[in-house]
Amino acid sequence: MAPVEGGGATGGTLHKVNFAAPRSFAVAFKSDLKETFFPDDPFHDFKGKPLPIKAKKALQYFVPIFEWLPKYTRKLFMYDLLAGITIASLAIPQGISYAKLANIPPIIGLYSSFVPPLIYSVFGSSKHLAVGTVAASSLIIAATIEAKVNPNENPQLYLNLVFTATLISGVTELILGVFRLGILVDFLSHSTITGFMGGTATLICLQQLKGIFGLKHFTTHTDMVSVIRVILKNRKEIRWESTVVGVIFLVFLQFTRFVKQKKPKLFWVSAVAPMAVVVTGCVFAYVAHAEKHGIAIVGDLKKGINPSSLRNLDFDPKYISAPIQAGLVTAMIALAEGIAIGRSFAIMENQQIDGNKEMIAFGLMNIIGSVTSCYLTTGPFSKTAVNYNAGCKTQMANVVMSICMMLTLFFLAPLFSYTPLVALSAIIMSAMLGLIEYEKAYHLYKTDKFDFIICMAAFFGVAFISMDVGLMLSVGLALVRALLYIARPASSKLGNIPDTSLYRDVEQYPGATDIPNTLILQLGSPIYFANSGYLRERILRWVRDEKAKKAADGDDVEYVLLDFGGVTSIDITGVETLVEIRRSLEVKEIKVVIVNPRLEVMEKLIVTGFIEKIGKERVFLSIADAIEGCKFSLTRLKDCGTEER
């Protein structure tokens, strides 16, 4: 016989099960809402404080500059100054490069590193995040808007639509943040993001072949097949001068990345390398009249800071679908990236960043950016890492970068007009190569084949079809898997671990022994419409198999104990299924016993009348209690020869 679980419970004194009346709908609903949208309890600091302090805390919560600026010191500034200059030196080449990638004038890329960082330093809550433009979003904007307007034929209209897309993206981010829809990002798994980033990086690398090879004609399609085809078609246009310079730059940049990897202390080598490439490129182009040798330069960078672009916003119904699509997709990707950054730095620095609040800051940044000649900005991971490594302490680093950019715009901008396009291509390509995570994909392959498939779906979908199809394909697969998880929850037969009162899966612990007359099943995960049919089949199969097994030993199944300890919730269909299971088993003269339902499940079982139907005496707090209880009623049954209720 199994010993009794719980020292105090022997000989029929069983532990009391809590059958308290369920919470009201309002209470349960409020609790559910809180868990859904405020799992991190952002206002926990406010509780029980007097009103003025609450108001101050609220202001500091929503506008974080009020929190950090009063405490700011000169010593902190020295750190932020260095970090700010470092990221500014990265922002100039990246700004120009990504603007080229988005097919907009390069100066817009520089404008975009001036206004948005200022806005972020007021509203943003991350101390380490560096604001800037990103390659993936630039490419998405370009690919979506090019489908409607040719940037070469009608550059002004194209640019206006880019500003409009930026506005829509900002508004979307603001809305997502205010309504705390960060939950949507939960559905982008690491595998999807790995695959998507890898695929996008591959595409962007391929696009850079235009710059490296110095091609004049290229395709607006982004998929691999089209790009490779157009390169093969135009292979006669390839200029060796450009190619040689490009390869040299690329090798240099990759080497600095390698140095950083080997000696993390030398991170600044790779941080200033792009600037070094641009400066070298400019000098080279100026001295060698590179343009005459087939090496195109940026050209045309005017002095002066951001003009207003309020009048450029274009809501013409003929074109509006493109900026809307681009805005929504980029907002979702910014959301994913923003929250991922929050998470990473929360771990590194043991501080907590609320992804939803970050989205509000991003939203304001892009809304204001869209009317000051900036295009989409966010907190790119790579730039943020440089900022962190350069020793930034507060959001002031963004202000420093912004001032550097202002000075550049006022005085140095024309100098950068000599930047060779091939240098920009090398910079983008080098950045993108770092985003293709072979090792991670291999790790997925080794540990979880389905996660690997989800990752590959994103990668190949993006590389061979299009970015949104790839993303949707991968998210769709991940959702199918999630639904399968819940549609086919594991159940297992428990046995007694000898000399203990523990009951564990007999498959996992082969030494666990059966209990006479009894089958103990452990259920898991929520029980509801999507899995209740399966559970019913599965439980009946367990009973059938166990009956056959026990029959061989001259025993029979008289009780089925369902361990509900792992069941987190149940819906109407689930309860109806329990009723069905009970009826099916009663026909076979098997009694169903429920063990340890959790709070929510118990509430639902009470309110639907299930507990009343099976009787409170059939519900136990632990498996040992249940076995004890069944043994008792079994003995009584045999003694009296009558059927108990």
Site for a copy of itself in 556-595 (CB under 8 A): 565-569, 571-573, 575-576, 580, 583-584, 587-588
For the bound state, the minimum distance from the C-beta of residue 477 to a copy of itself, rounded and expressed in Å, comes to: 12
The distance of closest approach from Cβ of residue 359 to a copy of itself in the complex, given in angstroms and rounded to an integer, is: 14
Among 216, 541, 616, 636, binds a copy of itself (CB under 8 A): 541
Q: Is 5 near a copy of itself (CB under 8 A)? A: yes
Per DSSP, 569 falls in state: -
Q: Distance between CA 148 and CA 243 in Å, rounded?
A: 32
Instruction: Candidates 18, 24, 308, 642: give the one binding a copy of itself (CB under 8 A).
Output: 18
Query: What's the min distance (Å) between Cβ of 1 and a copy of itself?
Result: 12
Nearer to a copy of itself (CB atom), residue 439 or residue 499:
499
Residue from the set 67, 241, 437, 505 that interacts with a copy of itself by CB under 8 A: 505
Q: Least distance (Å) from a copy of itself to the CB of residue 362? A: 18
Number of H helices, E strands in the chain: 25, 6
Kindly tell me which residue out of 25, 73, 552, 554 binds a copy of itself, with binding defined by CB under 8 A. 25
For the CB of residue 361, give the shortest distance to a copy of itself in the complex, in Å: 19
Binding mask 444-463 for a copy of itself (x = CB under 8 A): x-xxxxxx------------
Using DSSP, state whether 398 is helix, strand or coil: helix
Q: Parallel, antiparallel, or unpaired: how do β-strands 559-566 and 518-524 relate?
A: parallel
Q: What sign results for the dihedral spanned by CA atoms 312, 317, 322, 327?
A: positive
- Pick the binder of a copy of itself from 172, 377, 387, 622 (CB under 8 A): 622
Using CB under 8 A as the binding rule, whether residue 15 contacts a copy of itself is answered as: yes
Q: 84 to 143, contacts with a copy of itself by CB under 8 A?
A: none
Q: What mask, x for binding a copy of itself by CB under 8 A, covers residues 290 to 319?
A: ------------------------------
**Interatomic CA distance for residues 43 and 512, integer angstroms:** 48
Q: How many CB atoms lie within 10 A of CB 421?
A: 26
Least spacing, CB of residue 171 vs a copy of itself, in Å: 24
Q: Measure the N-to-C terminal CA separation of the chain; round to a whole number of Å.
A: 25
**Which segment (4-12, 223-231, 327-335, 411-419) binds a copy of itself by CB under 8 A?**
4-12
Instruction: For a copy of itself, give the closer residue by CB, 282 or 624.
Output: 624
Which of 27, 486, 551, 637 touches a copy of itself (CB under 8 A)?
Answer: 486
Specify whether the CB–CB gap between 379 and 401 falls below 8 A: no
Q: Tell me, what DSSP letter sits at residue 270? A: H
Side chain identity at residue 98, one-letter code: Y
If binding is defined by CB under 8 A, does position 525 make contact with a copy of itself? yes
Under the binding rule (CB under 8 A), the answer on residue 540 touching a copy of itself is: yes
DSSP state of 297: B
351: left (phi over 0), alpha (psi -120 to 50) or beta: beta
Judge contact between 402 and 261, C-beta under 8 A: no
- The secondary structure of 357-383, three-state, reads HHHHHHHHHHHHHHCCCCCCCECCHHH
Shortest separation between residue 451's beta carbon and a copy of itself, angstroms: 5
Enclosing H/E stretch for 602: helix 599-607
Distance CA(188)–CA(636), nearest Å, equals 57
Q: Of 111, 85, 95, 81, which is closest to residue 409 (Cα–Cα)?
A: 111
Per CB under 8 A, the list member of 1, 7, 153, 311 interacting with a copy of itself is 7
C-beta of 308 vs 350, nearer to a copy of itself: 350
607 is a site residue for a copy of itself (CB under 8 A): yes
Task: Select from 183, 248, 269, 324 the one that contacts a copy of itself (CB under 8 A).
Answer: 183
CB nearer to a copy of itself: pick between 221 and 598 = 598
When binding is defined by CB under 8 A, the residue of 478, 521, 543, 578 that contacts a copy of itself is 478
Q: Is 243 or 584 the residue whose CB approaches a copy of itself more closely?
A: 584
Q: Tokens 């040689």 belong to which residue?
A: 244
Question: In this complex, which beta carbon is closest to a copy of itself, that of residue 249 or of residue 542?
Answer: 542
Segment (H or E) for 68? helix 65-68
Q: 479: how many CB neighbours lie within 10 A of its CB?
A: 13
> How far apart are alpha carbons 205 and 435 in whole angstroms?
11
Q: Which two tokens stand for residue 30?
A: 């409020």
Among 9, 85, 181, 288, the residue binding a copy of itself under the rule CB under 8 A is 9
Is the separation of the CB atoms in 330 and 376 below 8 Å?
yes
Q: How far apart are CA 301 and CA 355, in angstroms?
A: 36
Q: Does residue 488 bind a copy of itself (CB under 8 A)?
A: yes
Query: Which residue in 487, 516, 633, 634 binds a copy of itself (CB under 8 A)?
Result: 487
Closer to a copy of itself by CB, 399 or 515: give it.
515
Stretch that binds a copy of itself, among 40-48, 116-124, 139-147, 233-241 (CB under 8 A): 40-48
- Residue with Cβ nearer a copy of itself (73 or 508): 508
Q: In terms of DSSP H, where are the helices of 393-466?
A: 396-407, 421-433, 438-447, 449-464
**29 is a contact residue toward a copy of itself (CB under 8 A):** yes
Residue 187 parent element (H or E):
none
Size of the site for a copy of itself (CB under 8 A): 105
The angle at the Cα of 442, spanning 199 to 204, to the nearest 5 degrees, equals: 15
3-class state of residue 442 by DSSP: helix
Closest CB to a copy of itself among 300 and 545? 545
The amino acid present at 145, given as its one-letter code, is I
- State in angstroms the smallest separation of the CB of 529 from a copy of itself: 3
How many other C-beta atoms are found inside a 10 Å radius of the C-beta of residue 261?
Answer: 12
Residue from the set 3, 294, 434, 476 that interacts with a copy of itself by CB under 8 A? 3
Could you tell me which stretch among 121-129, 285-293, 347-355, 379-387 binds a copy of itself (CB under 8 A)? 347-355
561 phi/psi in degrees, rounded to 5: -95, 120
Residue from the set 104, 142, 167, 185 that interacts with a copy of itself by CB under 8 A: 185
C-alpha count within 13 angstroms, C-beta hemisphere, residue 356: 20
Indicate whether 502 belongs to the interface with a copy of itself (CB under 8 A): yes
Q: Kindly write down the DSSP assignment for every residue of 227-268, as one continuous string.
A: HHHHHHHTGGG--HHHHHHHHHHHHHHHHHHHHHHH-GGGHH
Extract the tokens encoding 471. 């993303």
**Candidate residues 210, 357, 604, 618; the one interacting with a copy of itself per rule CB under 8 A:** 604
Q: Which is nearer to a copy of itself, 114 or 610 (CB)?
A: 610
Pick from 12, 27, 30, 40 the residue near a copy of itself by CB under 8 A: 40
Query: Which of 314/451 has CB closer to a copy of itself?
Result: 451
